[in-house]
Amino acid sequence: QVQLVESGGDSVQSGGSLRLSCTASADTVNRYSMAWFRQASEKERGGVAAIAKDGRTSYADSVKGRFTISKANAVNTLYLQMNNLKPEDTAIYFCAANFRSGSGRYSRLARDAYEWWGQGTQVTVSS
C-alpha cells in the first residue's frame, strides 16, 4: 500500500511563497510519475503540475512561471515550490502518484489518470 503524506501548507499573504512536500512510502518517487493537484472550495480538483519518471514536467497555465515541481529520489519526496502566490491559489493541495495514460486518453494533469492520493494540505492566500 503506497502512502503519500503532504505537508507545508500555510496561510500567507499575496505575493508570498510556500514549498509543499509530499513524502512517499517505499520507492514511489523514483518508480512512478507524480503530480500535484488542488481543490478550492466548491470546485473540482484540478491538475497543477506533474513530473514524469524521467523528470519531464508539465504545468497548468495558471501557475506557469510561478510554481516549480521537483523531486528528490533519495528521500522519496515530491516538492512544489510556489512563488508569487495569489488569492486564487487558495485550495487544498494533493499529491498523486502512478500516472496511467489510459492509452493516451489522459494528460499528465488529468485527475482520473492517477491511482494513489494523499490527504491534502491547506494553502490559504490572503490579499
pLDDT higher than threshold 90 for residue 113: yes
Query: What is the predicted pLDDT for the residue at 102?
Result: 83
CB burial of residue 52 (10 Å; 0-12, 13-18, 19+): middle
Dump pLDDT digits (tens) for 39-91: 999 999 999 999 999 999 999 999 999 999 999 999 999 999 999 999 999 99
Higher-pLDDT residue of 62 and 105 is 62
What nine digits make up the cell of 95? 499529491
Residue 91 contacts residue 20 (beta carbons within 8 Å): no
Region of residue 55 (phi > 0: left; psi between -120 and 50: alpha; otherwise: beta): left
Dump pLDDT digits (tens) for 93-104: 999 999 998 888
Query: What is the predicted pLDDT for the residue at 105?
Result: 82
pLDDT higher than threshold 90 for residue 125: yes
